[in-house]
Amino acid sequence: MDFEPAIPYEQTFDALYGLQLGEVTPERVTATVEVSDKVKQPMGLVHGGVFASIAESITSIGTARVVIEDGMSAQGLSNQTSFLRPIFEGTIHATAIRRHKGRTTWVWEVEITDDAGRLCSLIRMTIAVRPLPTAPV
């Protein structure tokens, strides 16, 4: 159920903002990001795009680890992010739970919490399952 990424982690966007995976199963994925100035917007709170990026990354990874065995890829199709509470410091905690496993789409719900366990963002991700792209000729 593991797969070889096309690009080394250190060279990816996820590495840029510091995504650290925890549990990765076909039904649940967890991750953390340490808060630093590089993930904040000018007002000093974590940029909303970081929450959305975490959700898309962990749900794509959770989906890909299953569908790649069948020659398929996982790509974000829809990202609906609701911001409930800001995070200013500490660690961003993310937990994704798969809600639907279809032939062409998977749907996940992601909760983003702070160090106190307070709900900061709710995200619904739809991941498209498509044939693996072929290398350009």
CA 114 to CA 88: how far, in whole Å? 9
Distance (Å, whole) CA 43 – CA 23: 32
- 90 Cβ partners below 8 Å, 6+ apart? 35, 114, 115
Is the separation of the CB atoms in 74 and 58 below 8 Å? no
Q: What is the pLDDT of residues 9-42, one digit of tens each?
A: 888 999 999 999 999 999 999 999 999 999 999 9
Whole-model pTM: value is: 0.92
- What is the topology classification, in CATH, of domain 9-131? Thiol Ester Dehydrase; Chain A (3.10.129)
* Tens of pLDDT, residues 50-90: 999 999 999 999 999 999 999 999 999 999 999 999 999 99
Domain boundaries, the chain: 9-131
Residues that are catalytic: 56
